[in-house]
Structure 1
Amino acid sequence: MKKFWCLLLVLFLFGYSTFAQQNDAFKVLAPAVYKKEIQIEKVQLVDVRTPNEFNDGHIKGAKNVDFMADSFLLQMQDFDKSQPVYLYCRSGNRSAKAAALLLDHGFQSIIDLKGGYLAWKAFEKK
């Protein structure tokens, strides 16, 4: 019976991982690809870090909407749910959580920066 539950758990995790990777509504892009996409046209670029983190440095054109603030969803109402929203945070953790929340609230396309602002800064130094 223990083997059955272990097998079931493995199948569930594999299935969930496969679904997450194939979900067209949520994409995670490497810094080089992310940079190309945000430069192609006017995009909805959102930095979900705190205002202090944002003031220490951010991607040009980003709007700061603190994911940890109680007003996060209220502030996100200013964005077009039918258009892609490009998110990033420090390392990718908060932006992934923000992406899940936004998808649950009707946003149709979320693009996250792989590795967050830390990866962006390292990429920009190259």
Structure 2
Amino acid sequence: MKELSQQDWKEQLENDENAFLLDVRTDEEYQEKHIPNSTQLDIFQAQKFMDKVNEFDKSKNFYVYCRSGKRSAQACQILDQVGVENTFNLEGGILDWTGETKTS
């Protein structure tokens, strides 16, 4: 897992053709505001989270975010443990995000 600043994470994500954008917040949080083109998977729903994680294409580069950066750091560690080679955590989470967002 790499902790990336907001700017580095955004620039790297925009230039990565093998990127997978993962939001690990709750359904309610995701509906309020999320980064476009992200896949939402609530880390608090442990069994569902693990089932889905095991289905992911582990060759992708995972850009992970949550509200403040703590849950996404935990998610990155889980992804690393199941064989994902590249995980990037967004420092400060969506609270500090200045890029584009949308609501559901």
- Residues 1:56 and 2:32 are matched in the alignment: yes
With CA pairs under 8 Å and 6+ residues apart, which has the higher RCO, 1 or 2? 2
- Residues 1:104 and 2:81 are matched in the alignment: yes
User: Which structure is larger by alpha-carbon Rg, 1 or 2?
Assistant: 1
Gaps in structure 1 of 5+ consecutive residues: 1-25
C-alpha distance 95-79 of structure 1, shift in aligned 2 (>3 A) = same
What TM-score results when the alignment is normalised by the length of structure 2?
0.86
2: CA distance, partners of 1:87 / 1:57: 15
- Residues 1:28 and 2:3 are matched in the alignment: yes
Q: SS at 2:96's partner residue?
A: helix
The structure with the largest helix share of the pair is 1
Measured on the aligned residues, the alpha-carbon RMSD in Å equals 1.6
Written as runs of structure 1 = structure 2, the 5 A alignment for 1:1-126 is 26-42=1-17, 43-69=19-45, 70-120=47-97, 123-124=98-99
Q: Is the 8 A contact 2:68 2:95 kept in 1?
A: yes
1: CA distance, partners of 2:75 / 2:16: 23
The structure with the largest strand share of the pair is 2
1:37 offset after TM fit, Å? 1.6
What TM-score results when the alignment is normalised by the length of structure 1?
0.72
Gaps in structure 2 of 5+ consecutive residues: none
